[in-house]
Amino acid sequence: MYPAVCEVTSHEDFSLSIVLDNGEKRLLDMKPYLDFGVFKKIRDYEKFKRVRVAFDTIEWDEDIDLDPEFIYAKSEAE
């Protein structure tokens, strides 16, 4: 089981600062994913910055969420 997301902060460079319930702080660069599938809906920063914590992960208004496994695998320790 992967750590749950406790906090998320968006940045203008389309990265996310994430705090996990195990105390880790991680940085997830979303730029490589914004040209694919549902992620195209959040290429506009006004939509991207509406990210929020939902249960153990993060989501956006555009019916987009990320699997905690994806977050942990694709992010880097800060």
Identify the CATH class of 5-77: alpha beta
pTM listed for this prediction: 0.94
List, in order, residues 6 or more apart from 62 with CB less than 8 Å away: 38, 41, 42, 47
- Residue 30 pLDDT: 98
- Residue 52 pLDDT: 98
Dihedral, CA of residue 76, residue 11, residue 65 and residue 38, to nearest 10? -110
Nearest to 76 by CA among 33, 28, 34, 8: 28
- Residue 1 pLDDT: 80
Residue-level pLDDT, tens digit, the chain, 78 residues: 889 999 999 999 999 999 999 999 999 999 999 999 999 999 999 999 999 999 999 999 989 999 999 999 999 999
